[in-house]
Amino acid sequence: MNPEITSRLSDLELQLPQASLPKYAYEATTRWGGLLFVSGQIPRRDGVIEFTGTMDPEKDINIGVRAAELCALNILAQVEAAVGLENVDRLLKLNGYVASSSDFFDQPLVIDGASKLLRSVLGEAGGHSRTALGVRMLPANSMVEIEALFGLRE
């Protein structure tokens, strides 16, 4: 792994989880030329989904933020397993989904957890465009799911 990224992770007291294998008929990552598509990652650590259910106005926003941060760590783990984080030129796009009650409207605040973590770990290469959507439910009752698109060094 890139020593600069390793140092940033250490400074943030973060550790990449093991990249999980897909349970269904898809690939965790797909490389197309200089692009790496990372399939949606949920807040799973060691095979256990740590954040389930929906966000609603009564729930502490930090619960959703922590779920998004774990999704971001899983994204980084998938990139490391597929091509190595040292080969990332730029994070191009995040699509974030938050399981939400009909009266919860702070999906961007939840997905900011992932955006800020990725920017902190990747530095300037972590700047990106983004979508943050509320949905009724997500696979396995996950609270958040995030997919990513990376540009790779040639």
Rounded Cα distance between 56 and 118, Å, is: 25
In percent, the amount of the chain with pLDDT more than 90 equals 94
In Å, what is the CA distance from 47 to each residue of 74, 86, 114, 148?
12, 26, 20, 21
124 pLDDT higher than 80: yes
Q: Output the pLDDT for position 50.
A: 97
Residue 109 C-beta-side C-alpha neighbours within 13 Å: 13
Rounded Cα distance between 105 and 58, Å, is: 12
Tell me if the pTM is above 0.85: yes
Least confident of 5-14, 30-39, 118-127, 134-143: 5-14
**Nearest to residue 96, comparing CAs of 29, 141, 145?**
145
Mean model confidence pLDDT for the chain: 96
Which one-letter amino acid corresponds to residue 114? A
- Ordered by start, the domain boundaries in the chain are 3-152
Supply the CATH classification number for the domain 3-152.
Answer: 3.30.1330.40
Average of pLDDT values for 104-133? Answer: 97
Least confident of 16-20, 65-69, 144-148: 16-20
Q: Output the pLDDT for position 88.
A: 97
1 pLDDT higher than 80: no
| Interval 28-83: pLDDT, tens | 999 999 999 999 999 999 999 999 999 999 999 999 999 999 999 999 999 999 99
Rounded Cα distance between 95 and 149, Å, is: 9
